[in-house]
Structure 1
Amino acid sequence: MRWEPLRVGDAAACAEVIAEAELVDRTGEHYDADDVAEQLADPDLDLAAATVGVWDGDRLAAYGVLAANATVPVHRVVFGGYVRPAYRRQGLGGRLVDWAIEATPAVAGHPDPPLELHAEVSDANEGKQALFGRAGFAPQRWFFAMRRPLTGDLPEIAVPTGYRVERFDLERHDEAARLVRNAAFVDHWGFSEKTPDMWKQWYTGTRAFRPGLSFVATAEHPPAGGGDTLAAILLTHYYEADTQATGRTEAWISVLGTRREHRGRGVAGALLASALRQAQLDGFAQAGLGVDADSQTGALGLYRSAGFAVEHRDARYVKTL
């Protein structure tokens, strides 16, 4: 087999590997060629150093991607890899993990320890758990994928006194929303600040972003010395590949964050209810989101009270290098 860095033109082959793997692994995630092309075209991704494709002739058997996630004081690199089912149990998974371990220091771009390599592993994938366990990884954190149908009664939109909720406007809210996201998640496990370029690439500049299903909450009477203050944001994405695979349209709530000083007042609940109602009006079949199982902000309780139920569990496996 031929091992070489990926190119953006390999996106369709990568999407084919993902689709075949999903038939076996059942993670609930689907990506088409355009989704993968966006990832491979990320200007922060060094294709030569941070990707590898394993080719059997002109057929992609497996591939891996490393993404640097600069945090303080620990420098993290996240590994994502797929092996086509027909090529499993031949050692390719183990060799991909070995490649990731060897390539991580260069991808991290930081010579000083501590340095960690992370990988997401489904609770239902015992083979992958064993693979990473043998390589010295250990589960450190759990994350839930939660969903609810957009039929029947939805949560009431109850905007707390002193705030107003409005539709996301790219021109007015984009940069302020990025700052809210960074402030809201700074105390979360694994936090990394999103730069303007990263924000555009993965949040409001991606083709999946749906501003019509995204909302912001503004404090009408902010502290002295400033104008209106953006207190919380909710961003929604739609992935066509999910609909192609499942036959259902899903509004994926990718970010819901509230500045610390505005928490505990019902602001996040008002944003969530607004997004669910709009998604229902737009004809979406269901809504989904991901949450840290140990989040200290009460997010899990909020989502359950809004009718979301846990559908899938992933563990973050970590190896210190």
Structure 2
Amino acid sequence: MPELSPIAERAAAPAVLPVITAGGLRWRPATIDDAPLVNALNNAMAAADEAPYRETEEETREELGATWRDLEHDSLLGFDDDGVLRASALVIAFPGDTTTVRAIAFGGVHPERRGEGIGREVFAWQVARARQILAASGKDLPGRIAAYAEDDDPQSRHRMYLHAGFEPRRYFSDLKRPLTGDAPPIPEVALTGSLRLVPFSEEVDDATRLAHNDAFRDHWGSEPQTIEQWQNGRSEFAAEWSFVVVDDAPDVAALLADEATDASTRAALEAGDPLVVAYSLNSRFTADFEVRGYTFGYTDLLGTRRAYRGRKAAVAALAASMRAFADSGMDAAVLDVDTENPSGAHGLYASLGYTMEHGSRMYSIEL
């Protein structure tokens, strides 16, 4: 990595945030009690943009209520003269970032108030606030200000990001695998040695977090998750659809001798904790069923520890998840993947019958 100047210099944070004047809205920070209003706004925007998802009020509440969230400084809500929420802005940072410190912009403008310049001013505020967050992080790492868009979003959103100096940096594919009708059979995957497939449970929760942090260390844009991050946002999580693979007799000495074994995993091995080597964690997004026109189980996270790649552990976990979806009467299995995933995930998913339904992209400014 080239030597970087301090993040406080690179972020070029403004001393004062820009004032949003377009649309004549009244602005204030969000609170957790605003979850119903923000949820209604988010879903109105998603419906207008024909996005393939909707959000439950509990999901919104979890997003606003994350323990590390600073709503007073990192959010704004814009109300019209009748007290109706018409626009929102939220900038999210992550306490676990260790290789790239990130600030991500979320929000938007109600469809009935678009075209008044509100969105551009809101985004300018978000970018300025993101620069302040990065500058104050004290983490002299590469920095990233990011925003996401569906490929089918209004072109005005894509143009706004480009005009603000953002570049499309990463592309994602939303994949679907039918489970009914003439869908191919779900594969039977035999595990070898001391590997064992088990249902997800609280007993393996943190061991799964450590496995995930290891599995994604070589994935672009991924950062280690703290316990607080890991356990946030589980309102739609379906533990009964989720599975992990454990190694009942790991070669502890070899893993401890491996320089690639991270400090947290070392501590867990020395303590004799379970070693999760692969996982498939899934959610039930019932609010999306009507929008998509079918029921499905969604795989949020799938991965394998780097030392265990090539042993089909993650495939076994995913196959068990698909079987659980089917047993629950779901029509399909769905997941999202980075198009440049370094582990060959696209080929794996294609071999299992997944095909692309939607696309999205991440825009960013890299500092």
Whether TM-score is above 0.5 comes out as yes
Letter in 2 for 1:116: R
- 1:223 is matched with 251
| Larger Cα-atom Rg | 2
- Aligned match of 1:210: 238
In structure 1, C-alpha distance between the alignment counterparts of 2:208 and 2:75, rounded to whole Å: 31
Contact kept, 8 Å, 2:99 with 2:223, in 1: the verdict is no
1:26-45 equivalences under 5 Å are 26-45=50-69
Deviation at 1:82, TM superposition (A): 2.1
Moved more, 75-84 or 238-247: 238-247
Task: Report what 1:173 is aligned to.
Answer: 204
Q: Residue 349 of structure 2: SS of its match in structure 1?
A: helix
CA distance in 1, matches of 2:199, 2:247: 15
1:74, distance to aligned residue in structure 2 (A): 2.8
Q: Does 1:257 align with 2:299?
A: no
Which residue number in structure 1 is paired with residue 161 of structure 2?
132
CA distance 1:164–1:95, shift in 2 (3 Å): same
Whole-angstrom CA distance in 1 between matches of 2:197 and 2:99: 36
Query: Which SS does the other structure have where 1:98 is aligned?
Result: helix
Q: Secondary structure in 1 aligned to 2:318?
A: helix
The gaps in structure 2 that reach 5 residues or longer are: 1-24, 254-268
Question: Equivalent residue for 1:239?
Answer: 285
| Structure 1 position 285, deviation (Å) | 2.1
Shift of 1:59: 0.9
SS in 1 for 2:317: helix
> Of the candidates 325, 329, 337, which is equivalent to residue 279 of structure 1?
325
Match of 1:110 in 2: 137
Between structures 1 and 2, the one with greater strand share: 1
Q: CA deviation at 1:246?
A: 4.4
TM-score by length of 1: 0.93
SS at match of 2:125: helix
Q: Which residue of 1 aligns with 2:106?
A: 80
Over aligned residue pairs, what C-alpha RMSD do you find? 1.8
In structure 1, list runs of 5 or more residues that go unmatched. Answer: none
* TM-score, normalised via structure 2 length: 0.82
Q: Are the equivalent residues in 2 in contact too, given 1:11–1:37 (CA < 8 A)?
A: yes
SS at match of 1:295: coil
Question: Which of 73, 77, 92 in structure 1 is aligned with 2:118?
Answer: 92
Structure 1 consecutive aligned stretches of length 4 or more whose deviation exceeds 6 Å: none
Bigger mean CA deviation after superposition, 277-286 or 239-248: 239-248
Q: Distance in 1 between matches of 2:108 and 2:176?
A: 25
Give the 3 Å change call, closer, same or farther, for CA 300–12 of structure 1 in structure 2: same
Count of residue correspondences: 317
Correspondence 1:11 to 2:35: yes
Spell out, residue by residue over 1:33-54, the C-alpha distance to the aligned partner (whole angstroms, 9 max, x if none): 2210111111111101111111
- SS of match in other structure, 1:116: strand
- Code of the residue aligned with 1:164 in structure 2: it is R
Correspondent of 2:350 among 294, 297, 304: 304
1:60 aligned to which of 85, 93, 97:
85
Q: Are the aligned partners of 1:165 and 1:270 in contact in 2 as well (CA < 8 Å)?
A: yes
SS at match of 1:63: strand
Deviates more, 1:9-18 or 1:240-249: 240-249
Distance 1:114 1:234 in 2: 30
